[in-house]
Amino acid sequence: MTLSSLRQQLLAGQTTPAAILSGLAGAIAARDGRTGAYLSHDLESAMAEAAQADLSLPLGGIPIAIKDNINVLGQPCTCGSRFLAENYRSPYDATVIRKLRAAGAIPFGRMNLDEFAMGSSTENSALQTTRNPHDFERIPGGSSGGSAAAVADFTAIAALGSDTGGSIRQPASHCGVVGLKPSYGRVSRYGLVAFASSLDQIGPLTRSVEDAARLLQVMAGPDPLDSTSLEAAVPDYLSGLNDGVKGLRLGLPKEYFGEGIAPGVRRQVEAAVQALAAQGAEVVDISLPHTQYAVATYYVIAPAEASSNLSRFDGVRYGHRAANPTDIPDLYQRSREEGFGPEVKRRILLGTYVLSSGYYDAYYSRAQKVRSLIRRDFETAFTHVDAILSPVTPSPARKLGGSAIDPLEEYLSDIFTLAPNLAGICAISVPCGLTAFDGAAALPVGLQILGPHLGEALLLRIARATEVQG
């Protein structure tokens, strides 16, 4: 069931928050052993909250699953890392959690992710494997793979994820659910464990566009605890949801429809574009000329910021601490050596390198300049189109591959999702059908819709139109 339909049932007295939680706990017990989306869940404390739930609130009594890099008071927040898995408990609620609670929601469940959200498969989790509910031999995508898999597997009603370069949209696409990355500054990041601070945003993963709108409505807005959150007023995301796409100009960037896209992905995305045109949208060809530099730019900037953010994990204040250190450098080195997994170490090494004296100008400052060009591409495009359409990923979910996967190939598969984060604009992934791929009969394909900065209302309206096309 969607969040919206459950809410109606709650209001009509046909179910209760406790019954919903018991249902989820049963579904988790029955299916999550196979899917592996949940790292942990605390039914007892959720039940205590359910007993107090105020159903008159916008999300009254609705459980929401939380990616395990968002702090919820008293709960674990492992970030999929050994570093935090042993003994860390969150000492406070993230602002999004505080807002969800104020709207009556119940945070329930801690969802698996790539370690510190670094990855596109959830295979970089140091803690467990998450499988795609559409095909258990395949990845759910990542890094919010647990959030997406649970929503697709009906073990969660809706979930929060975080998106630095695609981590909400790509797993949503691979699992056949809706995933929204809000514009930079739209949602407070206070209490999200930082990966790359100029790119990170928290957003919803849901079974319908309306559900995404309901969650964004609650999560969005300024926060004095996050200086990057914007003062801009939050519009009503629900009122115009069904206004349709008639008269809207939608751009197809030629750089997003080139070679290397699986035929089934191209077919389904083109069919979704046709369906929007049939509803009265005007589809026009556009160009985002600096697209080819997005992967290189992102994989300089994101690791640079990560190397700085992760320096706080030193074995002193929280998390893993190496046994019997001989001195302070030994404590730092061994705590980090033992606590971090291989992808995190790779990012820290890359980031430290591109920031180091002598290489800073050659890599980091140049990446910042190219980032401005990528942002300008979108600004120019949005002077003549209302929104942009593309695939989310070049291919559907690949098979689980573990350490046999080449990191560079993995980075390249982020080609369509990175630029929106570099530009700070909003983006959504909506399911647009299934395709046969690589021996699998039917895997989900996602359509990506990109909107201008703070254009979430329009983005959601277009996304909603893709649901009614059938």
Catalytic residue status for 390: no
* CA atoms of 287 and 374, how far apart (whole Å): 11
Site for ligand GLN in 394-433 (CB under 6 A): 414
3-state secondary structure of 149: helix
Whether a cis peptide bond, with omega within 30° of 0, leads into 227 is no
Quick one: 50 or 118, whose CB is closer to ligand GLN? 118
**Nearer to ligand GLN among residue 120 and residue 435 (C-beta):** 120
How far is the C-alpha of 37 from the C-alpha of 394, rounded, in Å? Answer: 24
Closer to ligand GLN by Cβ: residue 37 or 53 = 37
Beta-carbon contacts of 45 under 8 Å, excluding residues fewer than 6 positions away, are 74
Residue 17 or 185 with smaller CB distance to ligand GLN: 185
Given candidates 117, 218, 261, 445, which one binds ligand GLN under the rule CB under 6 A?
117
Binding region for ligand GLN (CB under 6 A) out of 49-57, 111-119, 286-294, 399-407: 111-119
Catalytic site includes residue 99: no
| Selected binder of ligand GLN within 75, 81, 143, 206 (CB under 6 A) | 143
Distance from the Cα of residue 137 to its chain's centroid: 22
CB of 302 vs ligand GLN, minimal distance in Å: 5
Which pair of tokens denotes residue 188?
């407070």
Part of the chain binding ligand GLN (CB under 6 A), chosen from 56-64, 116-124, 236-244, 430-438: 116-124
Q: Stretches 21-29, 115-123, 201-209, 233-241: which one binds ligand GLN (CB under 6 A)?
A: 115-123
Q: Which residues contact 461 (CB under 8 A, 6 or more apart)?
A: 240, 241, 242, 243, 244, 245
For the record, the structure tokens of 50 come out as 């359910």
Of 167, 173, 188, 395, which residue is the catalytic one? Answer: 167
* Whether residue 167 lies in the annotated active site: yes
Out of 120, 143, 183, 413, the active site residue is 143
Taking the least distance from each CB to ligand GLN, the nearer of 139 and 157 is 139
Decide if residue 195 touches ligand GLN (CB under 6 A). Answer: yes
Q: By CB under 6 A, what part of segment 285-304 binds ligand GLN?
A: 302
Q: Cα–Cα distance between 167 and 410 in angstroms, integer? A: 13
- Residue 118 is a binding residue for ligand GLN (CB under 6 A): yes
Chain residue whose CB lies nearest ligand GLN: 167
Query: Which among 112-120, 183-191, 211-219, 310-318 is the span making contact with ligand GLN, rule CB under 6 A?
Result: 112-120
Q: How far is the CB of 392 from ligand GLN (least distance, A)?
A: 12
The C-alpha atoms of residue 241 and residue 386 are separated, in whole angstroms, by 15
- CB nearer ligand GLN, residue 6 or residue 139: 139
Q: Tell me, residue by residue from 154 to 183, as one string, x for binding to ligand GLN by CB under 6 A and - for no binding.
A: ---------xxxxx----------------
Q: Give the pair of three-digit tokens for residue 331.
A: 């404590």
Least distance in Å: CB of 167 to ligand GLN?
3
User: What is the sign, positive or negative, of the torsion defined by CA atoms of 50, 56, 57, 63?
Assistant: positive
Distance CA 412, CA 409 (A): 5
Shortest CB 166 distance to ligand GLN, Å: 5
Decide if residue 20 touches ligand GLN (CB under 6 A).
Answer: no
Pairing of strands 282-286, 249-253: parallel
Cβ neighbours of residue 386 under 8 Å, at least 6 residues apart? 248, 249, 250, 451, 458, 462
SS3 (DSSP) at 185: coil
Q: Is 119 near ligand GLN (CB under 6 A)?
A: yes
Instruction: Choose the catalytic residue: 67, 162, 229, 413.
Output: 67
Q: How far is the CB of 417 from ligand GLN (least distance, A)?
A: 7
| DSSP calls for 114-172 | SGGG--SSSTT-SS----BTTBTTB---SSSHHHHHHHHTTS-S-EEEEESSSTTHHHH
- Between CA 103 and CA 55 the distance in angstroms is 9
Write the interaction track for ligand GLN spanning residues 70-109; mark x where CB under 6 A is met and - where it is not. ----------------------------------------
Find, among 308, 401, 289, the residue nearest to 348 by Cα: 308
Angle at 138 between CA 110 and CA 150, to 5 degrees: 25
Give 135's strand partners: 132
Contact between residue 387 and residue 420 where contact means Cβ atoms under 8 Å apart: no
Q: Which is nearer to ligand GLN, 36 or 420 (CB)?
A: 420
Q: Is 335 in the site for ligand GLN (CB under 6 A)?
A: no
Strand order in 282-286's β-sheet?
A: 38-40, 106-111, 63-67, 159-163, 201-206, 178-181, 426-437, 440-451, 387-391, 249-253, 282-286
Q: Choose which of 120, 125, 132, 268 interacts with ligand GLN (CB under 6 A).
A: 120
374 binds ligand GLN (CB under 6 A): no
- Mapped onto helix, strand or coil, the DSSP state of residue 262 is coil
Q: Closest distance between ligand GLN and the C-beta of residue 98, in Å?
A: 22
Contact between 6 and ligand GLN per CB under 6 A: no
Residues in contact with ligand GLN by the rule CB under 6 A: 117-120, 143, 163-167, 195, 302, 414
Q: Which residues are tagged catalytic?
A: 67, 143, 167
